[in-house]
Amino acid sequence: MAKANTSPARGMRDLLPDEVALREWATTEILGAYARYGFRRVETPALENIARLTGGQGGDNEKLIFKILKRGDKLNLSAAKSDADVVDFGLRYDLTVPLARFFAEHRGALGTPFKAIQVGPVWRAERPQKGRYRQFTQCDIDVLGDGSTAVEIELIEATLQALAALGFEGLVVRMNDRRLLGAMVAECGFDDARAGAVLIAVDKLDKLGVDGVCKELAEAEHPEPAVAKLRAFLERADSSGDPSGDGALDALAELLAEVEPAVNGIAGLRRLTAELNKSLPGGARVQPDPTLVRGMGYYTSTIFEIALEGVPYSLGGGGRYDKMIGDMIGGEVPACGFSIGFERIVLELQQRGMGPREVTKLAALLHDPKRDDPLAVTAAARAWRDSGVHVTVLPKRKKLGTQLDELAASGVDQFWVFVPDSAAQPKPLGEGAAS
Amino acid sequence: MAKANTSPARGMRDLLPDEVALREWATTEILGAYARYGFRRVETPALENIARLTGGQGGDNEKLIFKILKRGDKLNLSAAKSDADVVDFGLRYDLTVPLARFFAEHRGALGTPFKAIQVGPVWRAERPQKGRYRQFTQCDIDVLGDGSTAVEIELIEATLQALAALGFEGLVVRMNDRRLLGAMVAECGFDDARAGAVLIAVDKLDKLGVDGVCKELAEAEHPEPAVAKLRAFLERADSSGDPSGDGALDALAELLAEVEPAVNGIAGLRRLTAELNKSLPGGARVQPDPTLVRGMGYYTSTIFEIALEGVPYSLGGGGRYDKMIGDMIGGEVPACGFSIGFERIVLELQQRGMGPREVTKLAALLHDPKRDDPLAVTAAARAWRDSGVHVTVLPKRKKLGTQLDELAASGVDQFWVFVPDSAAQPKPLGEGAAS
């Protein structure tokens, strides 16, 4: 018989015990930190009605939906003109669209503000590529129904506590305000209608540098004086050499000195970051960064992103999105969220060898299962288990060496050949087999 | 604008914070107990290749698969003759089929025996009905690659420890052996080819009683003497009045006195249950039950089921299935598993008011966010959090009464209006609002 294909579905992956243990530990620590800040976990089903997933809030992700075929009488393949005729549900591609629906459905039972944690898988039918999977875990906290900056403070503090609990040190949160970005683009003299494109270019500052960004803008035929004005600002912001971010903010304050709402906004950002810096855990700091853009979509004011020294991508980010939930479900619902890049965090933990305290895993081998008193083994095993050791009880095989090799492969690190009334003690695996 | 439909997808449900907290606690306790027995958690993707899900191992569940529409060039609707032409993946309907694939794929890295825990959602497109959902959680432990009865002992002991950790007392594990059932049916004189149907009738003993079962068999035109012989056995087994199950086993021993393998099997079952009963946690007991059938499908010898006094359905069950994995992936792989009925367990916990220790949830309200020193609040909040209290910091609203009502709805049980340098203490919510 030909060997059957036993790979996971294309673009997906199996998780082996060591990785599951790491992910479980990380999840528990993160959830614990968030719970202490009053966040409560909710869960929505993996499937949503297809109409909800294709309502426009998902942007490009809507092209990547795994769609579910209708069943029974509802399925009429021969009359089908397009996808839409034969599907009724889809797998969620993020946790935000389901959260908005959840909030609308259960609002009365949830109280205000509603402080949600969500951790769970999402699915996107992307072309498979190294390190990117079609099922991955997202981890979001959101506060719905409160517009005060106490929310931003709490989201950032709680997230830094969560990452500190995992052992990360020296985290930097960059902060900006979507409205300041808008004022900056306008003040430089760019065309309002092309503001989005300008910000997409500015977003590449880390990769391209000031020259690269300005070159891209010039080539796209933005007005020369606007590009020059932006260049002057970016150069000053970039070269301030001030890791506090204050120098960059000074540069922005100078650029926008005549724009009254921006002056207030800059003062607000300065106050917020200063306040946060007085009380952050684990050597973390917050810095204003007037060049931080993030995905433009739905943010309305504060935006933030977590960076870790030496890591080229952010470990999470978020911001305030006061319109989106209201637009989806009607009414006004101020909202602010912080999303941890769970898969990236796991990758960093793996690469740095960080993780939970190791637990001793012991195999108790029955020398002669027929003769040995099973109760004695049970009692001994229970004592070990109560002391925190993970114990598996097995009959000793004739080929002990092979058995020990296989046990080592399965994660066991000590073994103990059980002979009643003997004083035999557990031995580390690898110290030589037969004994 | 018309109110949009915000219900979950048909037949599925949202989980609110209280239920998620209960489920999270139950999962953690169960996983903790299993880990102490050396089981390690693995995860497979929600989607599997459709061919794997429709290979025949799933029985009727294969009719209930949510199937995923192909995408891009691979989808050709107009040429499609049937389902099979337009789908490539499906959502898993259980955790056993994926486990077999996982084991085949990663066998070399897993060691022997491979002791797996799996907890996760599965999906079945059943007609929606009260208390039954199309997405629900399964919780399985399996030992692959070891044929000794040490495995049965460990599975049962570990599962009883897990349920004891949740607070369940007085659990009874009924045990039988698939081969004894076969011998019983043959010895009574039923037609071999109809043995399955006989057992399906015997499986209804709890519901129909001896008369009902025998009536059903007579109506189905099984040989009269066979039905009479079975009736005599069932009556004796049923009326032994011996909760240890020994009386019922005596009845079976008498019936099968001439069948040598069965005599050995009965002795084995008696020994196994006696051994287990010497060391079970939380007042649990194991009893042989020669009338226990369970789903007939793939079990090859030992089968077991957990009952709880006063609960009309079982809380879990399992058994040995030494053929199935080997049949699916080639080779011989002895296997034995125990599945906890997670959704039923959660329901029982809810109905009995069992659950985790309550944590105090405190809202710290800033009397005047502009004036009050945020650092003082942060320091106070951190001290509370370190002591295990869940604290949320919010600006006090003008309508404090309404705010407190909403906070109470969101699960907060104490509030604290923070005024710097005052000696104000947290107060229980509900003790009168303004203060």
Residues on chain A touching B408 (C-beta within 8 angstroms): 111
Check CB contact under 8 Å for B12 and A375.
no
Contact A102 B14 (CB under 8 A): yes
pLDDT in tens, A281-297: 778 999 999 999 987 67
Answer whether A396 touches B (CB < 8 Å). Answer: no
A307 within a domain of the structure (yes/no): no
* Chain A residues within 8 A of B97 when measuring between CB atoms: none
- Per-residue pLDDT tens, chain B, 435 aa: give them: 445 789 999 999 999 999 999 999 999 999 999 999 999 999 999 999 999 999 887 888 999 999 999 999 999 999 999 999 999 999 999 999 999 999 999 998 988 899 999 999 999 999 988 888 999 999 999 999 999 888 999 999 999 999 999 999 989 999 999 999 999 999 999 999 999 999 999 999 988 999 999 999 999 999 999 999 999 999 998 775 677 888 899 999 999 999 988 999 999 999 889 888 887 877 899 999 999 998 767 899 999 999 998 888 899 999 999 998 888 778 899 999 999 999 999 999 999 999 998 889 999 888 876 666 666 777 788 888 988 899 988 888 889 999 998 888 888 999 988 877 777 788 888 644 444
Q: Which of A43, A366, A384, A399 to mutate to test the interface with B (most CBs of B within 10 A)?
A: A43
Tell me the C-alpha distance between B315 and B170, whole Å: 13
Nearest to A366 by CA among A353, A380, A377: A377
Mind spelling out the 3-state secondary structure of A345-412? HHHHHHHHCCCCCCCCEEEEEECCCCCCCHHHHHHHHHHHHHCCCEEEEEECCCCHHHHHHHHHHCCC
Same domain, B108 and B212: no
Q: Do B75 and A69 touch (CB under 8 A)?
A: no
Please name which of A187, A337, A175, A156 lies closest in space to residue A261, comparing C-alpha atoms: A187
CB interface of A with B, residues 37-56, below 8 Å? 37-38, 40-49
Provide the number of CB pairs (under 8 Å) joining chain A to chain B: 283
Distance from CA of A208 to the nearest CA of B (A): 34
Cβ contacts of B83 on chain A, cutoff 8 Å:
69, 75, 77
Q: A72: domain CATH number?
A: 3.30.930.10
Does residue A433 lie in a domain region?
Answer: no
Number of domains in chain A: 3
Alpha-carbon distance B146 to B399, whole Å?
Answer: 66
Tell me how far the alpha carbon of residue A409 is from its chain's centroid: 31
Within 311-340 of B, beta carbons closer than 8 Å to A belong to 328-330
Residues A14 and B106: beta-carbon distance below 8 Å: yes
Residues B130, B105 contacting (CB under 8 angstroms): no
Query: How far is residue A340 from each of residues A133, A196, B416, measured CA to CA in Å?
Result: 17, 25, 30
Q: Identify all chain A residues contacting B89, using CB atoms and an 8 Å cutoff.
A: 9, 66
Task: Give me the residues paired with residue A173 across strands.
Answer: A286, A306
- The predicted structure's pLDDT at residue A433: 42
Q: Please check whether residue B1 lies inside any domain of the structure.
A: no
Same structural domain for residues B108 and B160? yes
Judgement on whether residues B83 and B218 belong to the same structural domain of the protein: no
Q: Which pLDDT belongs to residue B434? A: 42
Q: Which of A19, A134, A4 is nearest to A65 (CA)?
A: A134
- Whether the CB-CB separation of A103 and A133 falls below 8 Å is answered with no
Q: What would you report as the CA-atom Rg of chain B, rounded to the nearest whole angstrom?
A: 28
- Substitution target in B278, B359, B393 with the highest count of A β-carbons within 10 Å is B393
Q: State how far residue B224 is from chain A, nearest Cα, in angstroms.
A: 42
Chain B residue whose CA is closest to A366: B150
Determine, for residues A390 and B35 on separate chains, whether the beta-carbon distance falls below 8 Å: yes
Cβ-nearest to B329 among A6, A77, A279: A6
Nearest to A213, CA basis, from A222, A205, A221 = A205
Domain end residue (candidates: A329, A357, A385): A357
Indicate whether A383 and A418 sit together in one domain: yes
| Nearest neighbour of A410 by CB, restricted to B49, B114, B362 | B114
Distance set, CA B102 to CA B90, B96, B113, B323, B409 (Å) = 16, 10, 14, 17, 44
- Alpha carbons A8 and B103: distance in angstroms, whole number: 11
On whether both A157 and A24 belong to a single domain, the answer is yes
Query: End of a domain among B305, B332, B357?
Result: B357
Q: Are residues B95 and B32 in the same domain?
A: yes
Angle made by CA atoms B348, A23, B101, in degrees to the nearest 5? 80
A69 contacts B83? CB cut-off 8 A: yes
- Cβ of A410 within 8 Å of Cβ of B1? The answer is no
Structure tokens at A205: 């500052």
Q: Does residue A29 sit at the B interface (CB-CB below 8 Å)?
A: no
Query: Is the distance from CB of A336 to CB of A113 less than 8 angstroms?
Result: no
Q: Chain A closest CA to B349's CA: distance in Å?
A: 18
Enumerate the residues of chain A whose CB falls inside 8 A of the CB of residue B38.
361-363, 390-392, 412
Structural domain span for residue A201: 178-283
Q: Is residue B302 part of a domain?
A: no
Residue A435: predicted pLDDT: 42
Which positions of chain A have pLDDT values less than 70?
A: 1-3, 240-241, 296, 369-375, 430-435
A39 and A126: one domain?
yes
> How far is A223 from chain B, CA to nearest CA, in Å?
40
What is the C-alpha separation between A126 and A386, in angstroms, rounded? 46
Contact A66 B66 (CB under 8 A): no
- Chain B residues in contact with A3 by the CB 8 A cut-off are 330
Read off φ and ψ for residue B265, nearest 5 degrees. Answer: -60, -40
| Residue-level length of chain B | 435
- Say how far apart CA B175 and CA B306 lie, in whole Å: 9
Interface subset of A 192-231, CB within 8 angstroms of B: none
Q: Note which residues in 261-300 of chain B have CB less than 8 A from chain A.
A: 275, 278-279
b/e A331-353 (16+ beta carbons within 10 angstroms → b): eebbbbbbbbbbbbbbebbeeee
Buried b (16+ CB within 10 A) or exposed e, B362-379: bbbbbeebeebebeebbe
Beta-sheet pairing, A40-41 with A335-340: unpaired
Report the distance separating Cα A31 and Cα A40, nearest Å: 9
Residue A332: C-alpha distances to residues A107, A145, A325, A335 (Å): 13, 8, 8, 10
Q: Please identify, among A233, A261, A283, the residue that sits at the C-terminal boundary of a domain.
A: A283
A378/B157 CB distance under 8 A: yes
Sheet holding A335-340, edge to edge: A40-41, A114-123, A135-144, A335-340, A316-320, A302-308, A171-177, A285-288
Is residue B434 a part of any domain in this protein? no
Residue A427's Cβ-count burial label (10 Å; 0-12, 13-18, 19+) is: middle
- Spell out which residues of chain A touch residue B6, defining contact as CB-CB under 8 Å: 101-102, 104-105, 329
With beta carbons less than 8 A apart as the criterion, state whether A364 and A392 touch. yes
DSSP-derived pairing of the beta strands A427-428 and A414-418: antiparallel
Q: Supply B181's token pair.
A: 């059932």
pLDDT of residue A386: 87
Interface check for A20 against chain B (CB to CB < 8 A): the answer is: yes
One domain, residues A139 and A76: yes
* pTM of the shown model: 0.92
Task: Note whether B44 contacts A114, CB cutoff 8 Å.
Answer: no
Residues A249 and A277 in one domain: yes
- Strand, helix or coil for residue A24: helix
Co-location of B114 and B251 in the same domain: no
Chain A, 354 to 393: residues with Cβ < 8 Å from chain B are 359, 361-363, 366, 369, 374-375, 378-379, 382, 385, 389-393
Q: Report if residue B305 sits inside a domain.
A: no
A369, A267: one domain? no
Indicate yes or no: CB of A42 within 8 angstroms of CB of B3: no
CB B403 within 8 A of CB B396: yes
Domain for residue A288, yes or no? Answer: no
Residues 103-132 of B with CB under 8 A from A: 104-106, 108-115, 121, 123, 125
Name which of B66, B277, B412, B416 to mutate to probe chain A: the one with the most chain A Cβ atoms within 10 A of its Cβ.
B66
Q: What is the value of ipTM here, to two decimals?
A: 0.91
Same domain, A415 and A341: no
Residue A216 belongs to some domain of the structure: yes
Please state whether the peptide bond connecting residue A113 to the residue before it is cis, i.e. omega within 30 degrees of 0: yes
Q: In this complex, do A4 and B104 lie within 8 Å of one another by their Cβ atoms?
A: yes
To test the contact with chain B by mutation, choose from A22, A49, A392 the residue with the greatest count of B C-beta atoms within 10 A, namely: A392
